[in-house]
């Protein structure tokens, strides 16, 4: 029986610059429902105990009325304001989850997360303390210099594309974020990276799904529409 508390932190405070749409991408409609609905639904139906939603104050009302109340997402226990960068939004989410033993940090712009992957992440974080979901990269990755000349080709078998959720023991990730925020030296783009740089602690990579895309640019919406229909 599960005795530890698991909190999902769902991030939806970005402005979606690369999508180039008026409405932030997490509120664009996918099969008639806001993109954000899908991630919240997956966590609502999972074994997590509760959900912290991170959004901009100007969208709080919309999220409450049109998503949380409308679809009865009762596990959403807090809505907190995000920051100017993703890592600042994560930090605000972490501060609202002090009751958790483990947190699962998830991009609200990844609608294809499912209960099975959430369950596997919960399992592994309980054993390992830190768990990252990803997929082996399909393409060869080249490192380039500032003039875009290739300088290195890392061995592809060691390269994984990082997805979310990323799950952590609460005390570990809170301490790591606190340290990185206080130092203010760099802008991290990844939560396991924060943990690793602040504490040296490794995060276990588990295989997610090639469908678990982050809707980022307009063509991702076309792909998302295909996935949702089959």
Q: Which helix (H) or strand (E) holds 195?
A: helix 191-199
Name which of 20 and 148 has its Cβ closer to ligand CTP.
20
CB 170 within 8 A of CB 100: yes
Within its chain, how far is the Cα of 195 from the centroid?
15
Query: Given candidates 49, 60, 66, 85, which one binds ligand CTP under the rule CB under 6 A?
Result: 85
Query: Given candidates 7, 16, 46, 166, which one binds ligand CTP under the rule CB under 6 A?
Result: 16
CB 93 within 8 A of CB 80: yes
CA atoms within 13 A on the CB side of 94: 23
Query: Beta strand 50-55 with 29-30: parallel, antiparallel or unpaired?
Result: unpaired
CA dihedral 130, 36, 110, 43 (to 10 degrees): 40
Q: Which stretch binds ligand CTP (CB under 6 A): 57-65, 103-111, 173-181, 222-230?
A: 103-111
CB of 104 to ligand CTP, least distance (A): 14
Q: Which stretch binds ligand CTP (CB under 6 A): 14-22, 57-65, 142-150, 201-209?
A: 14-22
Query: Given candidates 33, 49, 71, 83, which one binds ligand CTP under the rule CB under 6 A?
Result: 83
**By CB under 6 A, residue 188 contacts ligand CTP:** no
Q: Which stretch binds ligand CTP (CB under 6 A): 5-13, 64-72, 113-121, 171-179?
A: 5-13
Q: How far apart are CA 79 and CA 108, in angstroms?
A: 13
Residues 21-60, interacting with ligand CTP (CB under 6 A): 26, 54
* Angle, CA of 168, 174 and 175, to the nearest 5°: 115
List residues near ligand CTP by CB under 6 A. 11-18, 26, 54, 82-86, 89, 107-109, 214, 216
């Amino acid at each position: 029986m599960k005795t530890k508390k698991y909190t999902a932190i769902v991030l939806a405070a970005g402005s979606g610059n690369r999508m180039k749409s008026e409405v932030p991408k997490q509120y664009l409609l996918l099969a008639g429902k806001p993109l954000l609905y899908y991630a919240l639904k997956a966590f609502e139906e999972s074994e997590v105990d509760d959900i912290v939603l991170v959004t901009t104050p100007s969208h709080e009302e919309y999220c409450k009325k049109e998503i949380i109340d409308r679809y009865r997402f009762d596990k959403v226990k807090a809505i907190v304001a995000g920051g100017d960068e993703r890592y600042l939004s994560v930090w605000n989410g972490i501060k609202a989850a002090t009751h958790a033993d483990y947190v699962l940090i998830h991009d609200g712009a990844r609608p294809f997360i499912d209960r099975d992957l959430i369950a596997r992440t919960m399992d592994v974080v309980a054993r390992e303390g830190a768990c990252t979901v990803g997929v082996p990269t399909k393409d060869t990755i080249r490192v380039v210099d500032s003039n875009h000349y290739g300088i290195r080709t890392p061995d592809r078998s060691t390269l994984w594309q990082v997805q979310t959720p990323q799950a952590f023991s609460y005390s570990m990730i809170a301490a790591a974020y606190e340290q990185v925020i206080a130092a203010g030296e760099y802008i991290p783009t990844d939560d396991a990276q924060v943990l690793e740089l602040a504490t040296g602690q490794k995060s276990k990579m588990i295989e997610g799904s090639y469908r678990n895309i982050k809707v980022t640019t307009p063509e991702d919406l076309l792909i998302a529409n295909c996935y949702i229909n089959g």
